[in-house]
Structure formats: C-alpha cells, structure tokens
Amino acid sequence: MLNIVLFGPPGAGKGTQSEYIIEKYGFIHLSTGDLLRGEIAEGTALGIQAKQNMDKGELVPDSVVIGMIGNKVKANPEAKGFIFDGFPRTVAQAEALDVLLTENNTAISGMISLEVKEEELVTRLLKRGETSGRADDKDESIIRNRIDVYNNTTTPVADFYKGQDKLNTIEGVGSIDEIFQSITTVIDAL
C-alpha cells in the first residue's frame, strides 16, 4: 500500500493534482475539505458546526477531521493506497494519522509539498471564487486568513515528515501537466 500526503497552502493545487493522481494510480482520494463540504451539503450536525469554522477560513477541530479520516481508512482495507489531500493540517493530526495507519498495518510512504507564493494563491482562489460558490474563496481577507493559518499552524507538519525523511518539495507554479510530471517522478521512486 502506497500512502501519500499531498501538502501545500490553500490554492496550491492539491485538489487539482489529486484528480490526476487517482486517475493514474488508482489510489483512494481522501480530501478533508471535500468530506466536510459533503457534511455541510447534507446538513448534518458535524457540517453545521464545521461551516462556522470554514466560512471564516479557520481550521475545523482536530477531533472532527481525525474521526472522519479514521472511518474512511478502516472502511477500505483493500485499497492500493490513499492520497491524503488537505490532511494532516496540524501536527496533532499528523501524529494521529501515524497511529491510525500503524493500527491498520501500514504507514505514510511520502509527503509531496507543493510550493506556491502567496500572491499567486490569492489570485487563484479569488478566480475560483467567481464560480465555486465557496464562501471561503469570495473574500480576500478570508483567503489571507487561510494562508496565515497555514503559515502559523500547518507548516510545522512539513517539518514533522522531514524528521521522518519523507518530505518531497515540488514547485507548484507552471502548467498542471508539468507539475503532475514532477509528482509522478516522486511517486514512482517511493
């Protein structure tokens, strides 16, 4: 089983590249953002709570996302691998993921971190906001708050995997195909 953490700031291209990765490798795509938006669309208690955080560009509590990911991993014991997109976003989530995968006799194979400068992220997300209907893509101050949360709370997750010698950094600016080629080079070497 090959398990990959696809990492990077909001708008780095994680969701975009995940679609190409699952198409080529047949991994199961676990996006906490998508799972949370699914809960919101269904109007569950979890979704109602999560929306309050997401609309402000804040993180949803660790216990919520860890529980969601745990359920999905346990439900797919025969998977060829998982692509974790937008998770873990805190060191506590990364530690919980290690425990969860060990319990399921597997581990993270590598992290792929997409590097994109802040102004490009803001431009991309405002553009997506024209069509996505996402409250967190509409307002520049909320987008900048998401980037601040990433810089303050999420970047230590890259150090966590660097400490395990699993960090691979990729330039996230360029055509989607070029970036995907760089990602496949990393995955094929794992």
User: What is the number of the residue whose Cβ is closest to ligand B4P?
Assistant: 33
11 binds ligand B4P (CB under 6 A): yes
Cβ proximity to ligand B4P: between 81 and 86 the closer is 86
For ligand B4P, the binding residue among 3, 5, 7, 14 (CB under 6 A) is 14
Cβ proximity to ligand B4P: between 57 and 110 the closer is 57
Q: Which residue has the tokens 């590249």?
A: 17
Within positions 43 to 102, which residues make up the interface with ligand B4P, using CB under 6 A? 53-54, 57-60, 65, 86-87, 89, 93
Within positions 102 to 141, which residues make up the interface with ligand B4P, using CB under 6 A? 124, 128, 136
For ligand B4P, the binding residue among 48, 107, 176, 190 (CB under 6 A) is 176
- Catalytic, 124? Answer no
Instruction: Give the C-alpha separation, 92 to 157, whole Å.
Output: 9
Instruction: Give the C-alpha separation, 94 to 113, whole Å.
Output: 14
For residue 135, with 0-12 CB atoms within 10 Å meaning exposed, 13-18 middle and 19 or more buried, which class applies? middle
- Catalytic, 144? Answer no
- Catalytic, 37? Answer no
Instruction: Give the C-alpha separation, 51 to 39, whole Å.
Output: 9
Cβ proximity to ligand B4P: between 78 and 177 the closer is 177
> Which residues are designated catalytic?
14, 89, 128, 134, 146
Residues near ligand B4P (CB under 6 A): 10-16, 32-33, 36, 53-54, 57-60, 65, 86-87, 89, 93, 124, 128, 136, 146, 176, 179
